[in-house]
């Protein structure tokens, strides 16, 4: 009898969705469940009752209903249940034989807005703070049910120990390293866009939102005297353009919503990538290393676990210290492209597939 794999919800794009897809590929016979599915990937997949209500896709409004929905899933037979959680999916409980099957958890993080509201704006409001008081003991109690937990980084394993009082082994997320190692094939439009960028530059890549700290990439270019390329898109584009013109005039270039192939080419050309946010793990630094590009990462957070200080990049403790930032750029630039690529291979999809299969086999 196969198992069941569970995820919070499925959006068209997202890091946790990519991990869930990799879990589904590792266990192709397992039933798949989520609160609702807004993606064309991973069909067929079972959805909960929330998918048949106006709350579908409205995460904030649906949030109070998620814990009871997860506790009242229908009757199923299964040898095991594996939940991919960053909110309440680890609360999942089926009726029937699956209720007594071993439950395992792959945790991207305990719910940030409950446990680390200083890292999640959703936890800053008065209603959220009041709700978290009630949800913390419930969430900790539900986290005692699994027979084993895996975390996506040592950073998150420590958060799990603090929040849930459980030990978790670390299984790093899958990164499509092989795709980036392959030579990109550019369209004529992508070739033209690439030709318009400098021959060397500091790169920042993410959604253009404040917490991604793309301003730090501009600062790194400023202190190093190098052009900057910001790749991505979002509502913060105007603010980033204004900041660039103020502190590094004429030196900040934008690659808005690049294709995967163009992004691979940009990663290969970059002198160094700057990745300043505090992230649970951080896929982008591994992608940069797969392209042979060293990375400056925040010394706090999960990204320090992939980037080896002085070997594949540099750890930055204070982004506001120009001298320290310049030294970090110099350290990163001195790193070997081969060392970066070798390090990236440690996080390939084949490694994740092998480790998640072993995790389930050992605990079921």
Full DSSP string of 339-353? HHHHHHHTTBHHHHH
Q: What percent of the chain has pLDDT over 70?
A: 97
Structure tokens at 264: 């691979």
pLDDT for 114: 87
CB-CB contact of 287 with 267 (8 Å): yes
pLDDT band at 131 (very low <50, low <70, confident <90, very high): confident
Structure tokens at 28: 């192709």
107-116, 163-172, 351-360, range with the lowest pLDDT: 107-116
Burial class of 179 by CB neighbour count within 10 A (0 to 12, 13 to 18, 19+)? middle
pLDDT for 126: 58
Q: Mean pLDDT across the stretch 201-207?
A: 96
pLDDT band at 178 (very low <50, low <70, confident <90, very high): very high
pLDDT for 8: 96
Q: Which residue has the higher pLDDT, 62 or 231?
A: 231
Q: Mean pLDDT across the stretch 167-194?
A: 95
What domains are there in the chain, each with its CATH number? Answer: 4-174+348-363 (3.40.50.2000), 177-345 (3.40.50.2000)
- The pLDDT tens digits for 236-263 are 999 999 999 999 999 999 999 999 999 9
pTM: 0.91
- Give the length of the chain: 364
Q: Mean pLDDT across the stretch 156-176?
A: 97
pLDDT for 123: 53
CB-CB contact of 364 with 80 (8 Å): yes
Helix (H) or strand (E) run with residue 231 in it: strand 228-233
pLDDT band at 121 (very low <50, low <70, confident <90, very high): low
The answer, yes or no, to whether residue 122 has pLDDT greater than 70, is: no
pLDDT band at 117 (very low <50, low <70, confident <90, very high): confident
Mean of pLDDT over the chain: 94
Q: What percent of the chain has pLDDT over 90?
A: 86
DSSP string, 169-223: EE-PPPB-HHHHHSPP---HHHHHHHHTS-SS-EEEEEES-GGG-THHHHHHHHH
DSSP string, 309-326: BTTTEEEES-TT-HHHHH
- The pLDDT tens digits for 264-321 are 999 999 999 999 999 999 999 999 999 999 999 999 999 999 999 999 999 999 999 9
50-59, 130-139, 211-220, 329-338, range with the lowest pLDDT: 130-139
pLDDT for 218: 99
Kindly list the distances between the CA atom of residue 258 and the CA atoms of 172, 174, 202, 204, in Å, as whole numbers in the listed order.
26, 22, 16, 13
């Amino acid at each position: 009898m196969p198992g069941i794999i569970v995820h919070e919800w499925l959006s068209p794009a997202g890091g946790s969705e990519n991990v869930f897809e990799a879990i589904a590929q590792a266990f192709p016979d397992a039933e798949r469940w989520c609160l609702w599915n807004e993606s064309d990937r991973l069909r067929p997949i079972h959805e909960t009752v929330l998918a048949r209500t106006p709350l579908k896709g409205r995460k904030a409004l649906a949030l109070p209903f998620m814990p009871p929905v997860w506790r009242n899933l229908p009757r199923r037979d299964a040898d095991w249940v594996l939940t991919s959680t960053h909110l309440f999916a680890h609360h999942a409980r089926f009726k029937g034989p699956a209720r007594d099957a071993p439950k395992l958890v792959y945790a991207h993080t305990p719910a940030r807005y409950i446990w680390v509201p200083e890292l999640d704006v959703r936890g800053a409001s008065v209603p959220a703070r009041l709700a978290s008081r009630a949800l913390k003991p419930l969430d900790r109690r539900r986290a005692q049910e699994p027979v084993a937990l895996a975390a996506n980084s040592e950073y998150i394993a420590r958060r799990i120990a603090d929040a849930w009082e459980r030990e978790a082994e670390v299984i790093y997320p899958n990164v499509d390293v092989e795709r980036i190692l392959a030579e990109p094939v550019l369209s004529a439009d992508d070739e033209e866009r690439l030709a318009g960028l400098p021959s060397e530059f500091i790169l920042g890549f993410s959604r253009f939102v404040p917490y991604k700290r793309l301003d730090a990439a501009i600062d790194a270019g400023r202190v190093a005297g190098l052009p900057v390329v910001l790749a991505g898109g979002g509502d913060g584009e105007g603010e980033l353009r204004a900041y660039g013109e103020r502190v590094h005039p004429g030196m900040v270039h934008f690659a808005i919503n690049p294709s995967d192939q163009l992004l691979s080419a940009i990663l290969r050309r970059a002198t160094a990538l700057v990745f300043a946010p505090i992230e649970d793990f951080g896929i982008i630094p591994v992608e940069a290393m797969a392209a042979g590009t060293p990375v400056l990462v925040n010394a706090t957070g999960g990204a320090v676990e992939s980037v080896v200080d002085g070997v594949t990049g540099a750890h930055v403790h204070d982004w506001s210290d120009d001298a320290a930032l310049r030294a970090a750029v110099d350290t990163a630039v001195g790193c070997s492209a081969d060392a970066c690529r070798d390090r990236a291979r440690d996080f390939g999809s084949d490694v994740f597939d092998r480790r998640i299969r072993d995790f389930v086999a050992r605990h079921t």
